[in-house]
Amino acid sequence: MIEEKMLILLRQGKISKWFSGIGQEAIAVGVSMALSPQEYILPMHRNLGVFTTRGIPLNRLFAQWQGKASGFTKGRDRCVHFGTQEYRIVGMISHLGPQLGVADGIALASVLKKESAVTAVFTGEGATSEGDFHEALNLAAVWDLPVLFCVENNGYGLSTPIQEQFKCEHIADKGKGYGMEAHIVDGNNILEVYNTVDKLCKSIRQKPRPVLLEFKTFRMRGHEEASGTKYVPKKLMEEWALRDPIENYLAFLHEENILNEEEEVVIKKEIIEEIDKNLRIAFEEAPIDSTLTNELNDVYKEFNFHLVKPGNVVKNIRFVDAISEGLRQAMEKNPQLVILGQDIAEYGGVFKITEGFIDDFGKERVRNTPICESAVVSAAMGLSLKGMKTVMEMQFADFVSSGFNPIVNYLAKVHYRWNEPADVVIRMPCGAGVGAGPFHSQTNEAWFTKTPGLKVVYPAFPYDAKGLLATSIEDPNPVLYFEHKALYRSVYQEVPVDYYTLPFGKAQVLKEGDEISIVTFGAGVHWAIEILDKYPEIHADLIDLRTLQPLDTSTIFNSVKKTGKVIVLQEDTIFGGIASDISAMIAEQCFEYLDAPIRRVGSLETPVPFSKTLEETYLPKERFEEALLELKAY
Ligand SMILES: Cc1ncc(C[n+]2csc(CCOP(=O)(O)OP(=O)(O)O)c2C)c(N)n1
Ligand SMILES: [Mg+2]
C-alpha cells in the first residue's frame, strides 16, 4: 500500500524515483521476520518490506525519500541508500555488489564476538554477475561465515533477461562451486520463505556457515518507474500476476478463516490512515537546510587526536621494522583490531611485516585472505559497522585497483551519507626503483587524494612511519597508508621502542634555507636530500609532507612566502597528481611572493618500466636536479 501511494506521488512529481518491489514483497518480509531484531539485514532497492518489517517510523522513511532532515542521510543520499544501526539495517550503495562483502564483515565480527547471529544480505540476480558476488560468496565459504545470501531472481536486471545474464539453470547451482549449501525457494509464497529462512537461521546460529538462497520471483513493474516494461513478454506478466504473493496470501487467510472481509477492510483503513498521517508529517517538514561548514564537517568522523609522546628509549631500526613494530603495538593495544591480507599469517606477508604475528595474536585476528581485494575491503567495512578496526595489507599498492570500488564509493562516502565511520587502514606497499615493472611499482596516491572522505598518509622515515601508523589505526576514518618498498630496508633511524602517535596534517621541515622551497614526500624526500647534499651552496627549505590528506598547506605557504621559489617533487607522473594541486594552491595563495615559475617535477608520463636503465629515466631524480639548478639561477 505504501508502494501504491508512492506510484501516485511519483506521477504527481512529489518524489523523484521509485524502484518497485511489487510482486516480490514476500521475500523481504519473510526474511526479515525470520531474523531476530539484533541481526543485521542488508537490503536492496526493492526491499521496502525490510524497512517496514523492522518498524522504521513511516514519517522518517518518507522524509528520507524526500531528502528531508528527519530521514537518515540529512538529504545526502536518495531512496533506500542508507543504513541505521538502530534498526540493524545497512543499506546498499548503487554499485550493488559491495554490500555482499560488507555482510561478510558483519558476520565475521559476530563470529569473533561469539554472538551466534545470522547476517542476511540481498542481491538481485543481475548483480550476481558482478565479481563482488563471487568474491563475497567465496570468502564467506572459506571462513564459514554465518551469512544468508538472498538472491531475488526476478527475471530481469534492468532490461536484461536472465538468459543474457548467466548460463547455468539456477543461481542456486552456483552454491556447489563455492562449496556452499544452496536452496531454491518460491519467493512468492510468504509461508515458504518464512519457514525456510527460519529453519535455516536456527541451524546457522548453531553451526555458522553461509547459505545461498535463490528466491524465484518476478518484477511486475519497470526497473524504476520511468523505464517501463515494454521489453517484458505479456505472457510472462500474466503468468506471474496469478502468483502475486499478497493476493495469494490474502486468499489463504480467507480460506483458513484467519481473516474475514470486515477485518480486512478495517486493517486496510488503518494502514491508509497511517500512511497518510506520516506523509503529511514528511511533507510539512521544511526542506533541508545546511551550511557549508556542516557539509564539510561530516565528510570525516571527528577524531580527537590523542598525542602519545615518544619515549626516550630508542633503537636503530629499518623502515620496515618500524611499520612492523607499530602494527604489533597497535594489535596489543586494541583487542578489536584485526589484520587482513594475502599471505600475512604463517608466511608473514610478502615483505615479512607480520612475521610471527599469528603466534602472538592468533589466526582469528591475523587472517590470510583469498585473492579478493574488493570483498576484503568490503568486509573491513562490515567489521567497522560492528565497532571493530581493520588493517588490511594490500600485497602491492598496485593491486588496490581490484578493491577500488568499495574504497572510493563505500569507505570514503559512508560517514557523509549516514554518519558511520569506516574504521579501516589500508597499507599500501608502493613505489618504483626496485626493478619491479608496471604492476609492482606504482605510487597511486593520486587515485585517493582526489576522493573526499579518505585520509592519505605517506611517511619517508622510520620514526614517522611508526607514529603515523599508530595514528592511522586510532583514527576512525579510512586511511590509505603508503609505505615505499625502496625505503623498507635502506632507511634506518633511531626509533622510540614504545608506542607513540604523531599528528596528521603536520609537515616536517627537514632543512631550512631562504632561496628555494622543495615540497615533497616519500622517496622524493630522500632524492632531495641526496641532491641538496651535492650542492651545499643552495639554501633550500626541504618540506616532507608526511600526510597528503590532511595536507599541511600553511607550512608550504609560509615557506614559499619566504623563498619565492618552489619545486613540488613527486614520484608519480605529474598530470593529475598532488604536485599539480599543490602548485595550483601556491599560485592562488602566494602569487605576489613568487620570483619564479612554480616547478612540478615527477616521473615520465609512461607506465613504470621494468629495466633498470629505463626505470632511471622514468624516475624524476635527474630532472629534479636540473630543475633545482635552473630555479637557483632564475
Ligand atoms: C556497478 C553498477 N552497474 C550498473 C548499475 C545500473 N543498475 C542498477 S540496478 C541494475 C539492475 C540490477 O538487476 P538485479 O540485480 O537483477 O536487481 P533488480 O533490479 O532486478 O532487483 C543496473 C544495471 C549499477 N547501479 N551499478
Ligand atoms: Mg533482477
Mean pLDDT across the chain: 97
Spatial distance between the Cα atoms of 144 and 86, rounded to a whole number of angstroms: 27
> Does the Cβ of 222 fall within 6 Å of ligand 1?
no
126 Cβ inside 6 Å of ligand 1: yes
Measure 157 CA to ligand 1 centroid, in angstroms.
6
Please check whether residue 42 is in contact with residue 103, taking contact to mean a CB–CB distance below 8 angstroms.
yes
Residue 55, pLDDT above cutoff 90: yes
Closest C-alpha to ligand 1, atom 1: 95
Residue 15 has pLDDT above 90, yes or no: no
- DSSP-derived secondary structure letter, 408: I
Point out the catalytic residue in the list 81, 134, 440, 526. Answer: 440
Q: Is the CB of 223 under 6 A from ligand 1?
A: yes
- Say which amino acid occupies 438: P
Q: Which atom of ligand 1 is nearest to the CA of 24?
A: 21
Residue at 359: amino acid letter: D
> Which residues are paired to 425 by β-bridges?
391, 479
Report pLDDT for 16. 80
In angstroms, rounded to a whole number, what is the distance separating the alpha carbons of residues 327 and 342? 16
**Distance between first and last Cα of the chain:** 75
Measured from the alpha carbon of residue 405, the closest ligand is 1
The minimum-distance atom of ligand 1 relative to the CA of 97 is 1
Asked if residue 564 has pLDDT above 90, the reply is: yes
For residues 158 and 145, what is the distance between their CA atoms, to the nearest angstrom? 31
Give 329-333's long-range contacts (Cβ < 8 A, gap of 24+): 329/470, 329/498, 329/499, 330/391, 330/469, 330/470, 330/473, 330/499, 331/357, 331/360, 331/361, 331/365, 333/499
- The whole-angstrom separation of Cα 303 and Cα 240 is 53
CA distance 344 to 376: 13
Q: What is the pLDDT of residues 463-501, one digit of tens each?
A: 999 999 999 999 999 999 999 999 999 999 999 999 999
The residues, ordered by sequence, that sit 6+ positions from 143 with a Cβ below 8 Å of its Cβ are 104, 108, 111, 367
Mutation probe of ligand 1 site: the residue of 223, 227, 229 with most atoms within 8 A of C-beta: 223
What's the pLDDT score for residue 52?
A: 97
Atom number in ligand 1 closest to CA 95:
26
Residue whose CA is closest, atom 11 of ligand 1?
157
Ligand 2 center to 126 CA (angstroms)? 5
> What residues does 188 pair with on adjacent strands?
none
**Letter for the amino acid at 360?**
D
User: What tens digit of pLDDT does each residue of 244-258 get?
Assistant: 999 999 999 999 999
Q: What is the mean pLDDT of residues 13-30?
A: 93
pLDDT tens digit string along 588-619? 999 999 999 999 999 999 999 999 999 999 99
Residue 439 CA, chain-centre distance (Å), reads 23
CA separation for the pair 600, 592 (Å, rounded): 19
3-state secondary structure of 516: strand
Question: Is 95's C-beta closer than 6 angstroms to any atom of ligand 1?
Answer: yes
Ligand 1 closest atom vs CA 154: 20
Q: Is the pLDDT of residue 415 over 90?
A: yes
Residue written as cell 486468499? 251
CB distance 162 to ligand 1 below 6 Å: no
**Residue 152 identity (one-letter amino acid):** E
Query: Are 134 and 196 a contacting pair, CB within 8 Å?
Result: no
Percent of the chain whose predicted confidence (pLDDT) is above 90: 98
Three-state secondary structure string covering 62-101: HHHHCCCCCCCCCCCCCCCCCEECCCCEECCCCCCCHHHH
Alpha-carbon span 119 to 210, nearest angstrom:
9
CA of 557 to the centre of ligand 1 (A): 47
Q: Which atom of ligand 1 is nearest to the CA of 158?
A: 11
| 154 C-beta closer than 6 A to ligand 1 | yes
pLDDT of residue 31: 98
| 32 contacts: CB under 8 Å, gap ≥ 6 | 41, 49, 50, 53, 54, 120
Q: Which of 291, 387, 293 is nearest to 338 (CA)?
A: 387
Measured in Å, residue 175 CA sits from the centre of ligand 2 at 18
Point out the ligand 1 atom lying closest to the alpha carbon of residue 94. 25
Instruction: Give residue 153 CA to ligand 2 midpoint distance, Å.
Output: 6
Among the bound ligands, name the one nearest to the CA of residue 159: 1
pLDDT of residue 14: 85
Q: Measured from the CA of 46, which atom of ligand 1 is nearest? A: 21
Whether 21 is in the pocket of ligand 1, judged by its Cβ within 6 Å, is no
254 is catalytic: no
Specify the DSSP class assigned to residue 332: H
Taking residues 226-241, what's their average pLDDT? 95
User: Quick one: residue 165, left, alpha or beta (phi over 0 = left, psi -120 to 50 = alpha)?
Assistant: alpha
| Mean pLDDT calculated for residue range 143-156 | 98
- Nearest residue (by CA) to ligand 1, atom 20, is 157
The model's pLDDT over 83-116, given as tens digits with 9 standing for 90+, comes to: 999 999 999 999 999 999 999 999 999 999 999 9
Question: Is 157 a pocket residue for ligand 1 (Cβ < 6 Å)?
Answer: yes
Q: Which atom of ligand 1 is nearest to the CA of 123?
A: 15
> 37 with 88: CB under 8 angstroms?
yes
Relative to the alpha carbon of 223, which ligand is closest? 1
Instruction: Say if residue 73's pLDDT is above 90.
Output: yes
Which residue owns the Cα nearest ligand 1 atom 2? 95
Spatial distance between the Cα atoms of 73 and 415, rounded to a whole number of angstroms: 10
8 A C-beta contact, residue 2 and residue 196: no
For residue range 257-314, what is the model confidence (pLDDT) as tens digits?
999 999 999 999 999 999 999 999 999 999 999 999 999 999 999 999 999 999 999 9
Q: Is the CB of 420 under 6 A from ligand 1?
A: no
Length of the chain: 634
Determine the residue of 18, 79, 96, 231 to mutate for testing ligand 1's pocket, defined as the one with the most ligand atoms within 8 A of the Cβ atom. Answer: 96
Q: What is the largest CA-CA distance in the chain?
A: 98
pLDDT of residue 106: 98
Q: What DSSP state is assigned to residue 400? A: G
Confidence (pLDDT) at 327: 98
Rounded to whole angstroms, the Cα distance separating 346 from 373 reads 19
- Identify the CA nearest to 469 among candidates 324, 344, 336, 334: 324
156, 158, 216: residue to mutate for ligand 1 pocket, most atoms within 8 A of CB: 158
Assign 307 to helix, strand or coil: coil
Query: Confidence class of residue 17 from pLDDT cuts 50, 70 and 90?
Result: confident
Centroid of ligand 2 to alpha carbon of 465 (angstroms): 47
Which residue minimizes the CA distance to atom 22 of ligand 1? Answer: 158
CB neighbours of 112 closer than 8 A, spacing ≥ 6?
A: 338, 364, 365, 388
Q: How far apart are CA 420 and CA 484, in angstroms?
A: 30
Residues 108-135: pLDDT tens digits? 999 999 999 999 999 999 999 999 999 9
Predicted TM-score of the model (pTM): 0.98
> Nearest CA to 460 among 444, 483, 480?
483
State the CB neighbour count (10 A cutoff) for residue 401.
16
Atom 21 of ligand 1: nearest residue by CA position: 124
Confidence (pLDDT) at 461:
99
DSSP-derived 3-state class of residue 178: coil
DSSP state of 406: I
Does any ligand 1 atom lie closer than 6 A to the CB of residue 96? yes
Rounded distance from Cα 534 to ligand 1 centre (Å) = 59
The β-bridge partners of 457 are: 481, 547
Residue 153: strand, helix, or coil: strand
Nearest CA to ligand 1 atom 4: 95
Q: What confidence tens digit (pLDDT) does each residue in 428-440 have?
A: 999 999 999 999 9
Span from the CA of 126 to the centroid of ligand 1 (angstroms): 6
